[in-house]
Chains A and B, each alone.
Chain A
Amino acid sequence: MLQYIRKIIQISVIAVILSITIMSYYGYLLSAKGQKDFMDVVMEEKGHIAGILYGAINKVAAPSPNAADEFVSYIDMFKGGVWSLTVYGFNITDPLAAVIATISGKAFYIPLAISIIIPMVFIFIFGRAFCGWVCPMNLLFELNEKARQKLESFKVPILDITMDRRYKYVVLFSMLVLSLFGIQLLPYILPYALVSREIYSYIFYTAFSFGMVLILLLLLFELLVSRRGWCRYLCPGGAFFSLLGFIRAVNVDADLRNCPVNCQICTEVCPRGLEPHKNIIGMECDNCGLCISKCPASAVRYKFGVRSLELGVKAKAIIILFFLLLTPYSSLLTVSYAAHAKIINPHAGAQTHYPQNPSEEYISERDGYIVNFSVFQHKQSDSTIRVKAVAIVRDKAAGKPYLGPLKMVFYRKSLFSFKEDMVYDFKKDFENRYPFYANLPYESDFKVKVSFNSNGKDIEFEFPIRVGEPKSNLIFLGLISVILIASVITIAHLKKKQSKVISPAG
């Protein structure tokens, strides 16, 4: 029963974040387009899931233009997610966010101090209960743990690295040190802050950003490398709530006199890696109540077969470093917002023909000449993309633009090098005289050489550009993840063999 309530709360938290974001987007659609035009756009998008969704919301929320206006100003009072939430105009902010913002911004803001009162009271009553009951990432991690058990039941060799739980305080402390210098690392590391942001970026831009890669990596980490490893050993958010919830009103307490002999079920189910069967619970307990519901007094059996594979410190460090190093590659998976075709975006994006915004801009100076180089992309359909490369050359000494002949050479990226692909030779009598345009028909990475001759001297500029969304990076990332999974499995296998050889009992 307790666990059902907890699940319902967890799911409703995610539902609240989702609905707030969808409603925000709906409010934007209404205020940007107006009720009547908006309905036209929705009609155009018939059959598209977003079109159906927003059409349905519109029917319920705003039957008339007047009601639409009222509704927009009403939903303006509900914004945000788990990191910071505005409900009915009243703000509730994560205390950790407030601490970090105050330290790194070196500014005390009274509304921010007021907004953390409710969470602080919550922490003083329930301790670290945020982790178990609210954190949207915890729900995903719990589902992930179920998958992990499935893998184990199929005898898939997976690792279970255990570390010291105190590492998360070290992580928290070093984050606070970094924020002293104005560097905020926490909002990108904490997965529960990332979840609401990824929901935002999916609903508003139909694209995930780098945070999604981090979330997936953490899920993979907990699935294959360490059981609940992030929450137990590394999460700085959990560390912060544990520290604040050191003294709390609601505690989990084990009465050891009623314990059956040799029963450790509570310890096995504990997501935080605590030991209720010895009554070693402490401040890190998140009051999730799993040990309470699973206690055999209610005659529930819950079998775990987690193998603990003994690894040296070096091997652990290598595996964890590997994961940490992988995160910079996450940028490869993400595509720029600009390049994305967007669903019903009234002002600009709905018209996929929106070539005015430069996807890349460079200003480069050499030998008394300044070159403005910009690239404009024009997606004509799903398959073709038209690109204009524009070069504006200015003569610094003369204070005038350069209007002589100019050459643009495009080097297209093949697997490891750049190959000459197209040559544009602009003469002086080029019809538009200014600026110099070049059209590119396909998606790839390019290197552009802009060269011209002035007073007998050859001057050359070079710019890297990316046209469209080249697929090669995705392939590269896929390759990396395949290698990662393969290496984790082989390490696990080798270690298993090794432990069999070493220990005479096995």
Chain B
Amino acid sequence: MFEKITRRLFLKSSLILGSAIVFGGFLWNKAAKAKVYLRPPGAVPESKFTGQCIRCFICGEVCPNKAIKFVDIEGGITNIGTPYISPREQGCILCMKCGQICPTGALQKIEDDFKKIIDKVKMGRAVVDKTICYSYNNRICGFCQQSCPFPDIALKLEVWARPVVTDKCVGCGLCEKSCIQVPQAIRVIPRGEEHKIAFYENYQMPIYDEHLPGMPPGH
């Protein structure tokens, strides 16, 4: 029942097994699509975060808004099982419970305090897609500003209720959740993907467009 394996065979096979695991891990890592996720508030920088997170799912259990979701197998080996926020489904209400309970420090403890949250939390930054935003296209909406936890600090409204995001934005995603346009005209770009901000902000519809149904040019 207990067969004896010679030393040489064991060393040989264990070398094969070990290298198969290591190289398999690297290959899986390479093959995965590089996607940047919006992390819960207080997350350490991304390269450290995926290492420090032990995938215990406690942050997801404690989240009172069920905003924290977990990456499934499509996220590749470095991301799989880590927490992320999909703001269109549920935005973060900045209760800071997840950081307080995280056992490994992957999510740092931040006090549930208005000023400290603005200073320390930086999940990402919201960006307005001017091509499809109602307020930039002859209609008036302003829903995003109403849902913002820091109105007029992180998100200002200009004439015709046009939203303008400032650098104070923490990236909680409540604006993206509340946007009435489909697809969403305001979205949170997670940190590490700042180059995408210009892409959304630079394209704008001509403001007075004769093709707009039921509305003469210049109202």
Contacts and interface: CB of A to CB of B under 8 A. Distances in A.
Interface of A: 20-21, 24, 27-28, 31-32, 72, 76, 79-81, 83-84, 86, 91, 93-94, 97-98, 100-101, 103-107, 109, 111-112, 115, 162-164, 166-167, 170-171, 173-175, 177-179, 181-185, 187-188, 193, 196-197, 200-201, 204, 209-210, 273, 275, 306, 308, 313, 330-331, 334, 336-338, 345, 347-348, 355-358, 361, 363, 370, 372, 374, 376, 388, 390, 392, 394, 399-401, 403, 428-429, 431, 433-435
Nearest to B61: A24
Nearest to B109: A111
A428 B210 CA distance: 13
Contact of B54 (A93, A209, A313): A93
A91 B44 CA distance: 20
A336 B103 CA distance: 28
Most chain A CB within a 10 A radius of its CB, from B9, B25, B204:
B25
Given A167-B17, A183-B77, A210-B72, A348 B105 contact: no
Given A28-B63, A184-B78, A434-B132, 13 more contacts: A84-B54, A84-B56, A93-B103, A101-B54, A107-B44, A109-B104, A184-B55, A197-B57, A201-B70, A357-B88, A374-B183, A400-B203, A401-B203
A184 B206 CA distance: 49
A401 B200 CA distance: 11
14 contacts: A31-B65, A84-B56, A93-B104, A97-B54, A103-B51, A109-B105, A162-B3, A174-B21, A184-B53, A204-B60, A273-B2, A347-B65, A388-B182, A394-B203
Contact of B22 (A163, A177, A334): A177
B81 interface: yes
Contacts of B147: none
Interface string B93-136: 00001000101111000000000000000000000000110000
A174 B22 contact: yes
Interface size class of B (residues with CB under 8 A): 35 or more
Contacts of A197: 55, 57, 70, 81
Contact of B21 (A185, A334, A431): A185
Top 5 A-B pairs, shortest CB-CB distance:
A105-B52, A104-B51, A105-B51, A109-B105, A84-B56
Contacts of A182: 47, 50-51, 78
Given A174-B18, A174-B21, A403-B211, A79 B58 contact: yes
B29 interface: yes
B174 to A, nearest CB: 12
Contacts of A330: 73
Given A164-B10, A204-B60, A313-B13, A91 B69 contact: no
Contacts of B146: none
Contacts of B89: 338, 348, 357
B218 interface: no
Given A183-B77, A347-B65, A356-B182, A105 B22 contact: no
Contact of A390 (B55, B80, B183): B183
B209 to A, nearest CB: 8
Given A182-B51, A183-B77, A392-B132, A313 B9 contact: yes
Interface of B: 1-3, 5, 9-10, 13-14, 17-19, 21-22, 25-26, 29, 44, 47-58, 60-66, 69-70, 72-74, 77-78, 80-81, 86, 88-90, 97, 101, 103-106, 131-132, 179, 182-184, 199, 202-206, 211-213
Nearest to B5: A164
B1 A306 contact: yes
Nearest to A358: B183
Q: Is the interface of B mostly helix, strand, loop or mixed?
A: loop
Contacts of B182: 355-356, 376, 388, 390
Contacts of A98: 54, 104
Nearest to B67: A347
Given A79-B58, A201-B70, A358-B183, A431 B213 contact: yes
Contacts of A348: 89-90
A200 B51 contact: no
A366 to B, nearest CB: 15
A108 B159 CA distance: 50
Contacts of B2: 162, 273, 275
A101 B53 contact: yes
B73 A210 contact: yes
A351 B36 CA distance: 29
Contacts of B106: 101, 105
A112 B101 CA distance: 11
A240 B13 CA distance: 20
Contacts of B60: 200, 204
B51 A115 contact: no
Contact of B25 (A31, A178, A376): A178
A105 B104 contact: yes
A379 to B, nearest CB: 14
A20 B61 contact: yes
Nearest to B72: A209
A334 B81 CA distance: 14
Nearest to B10: A164
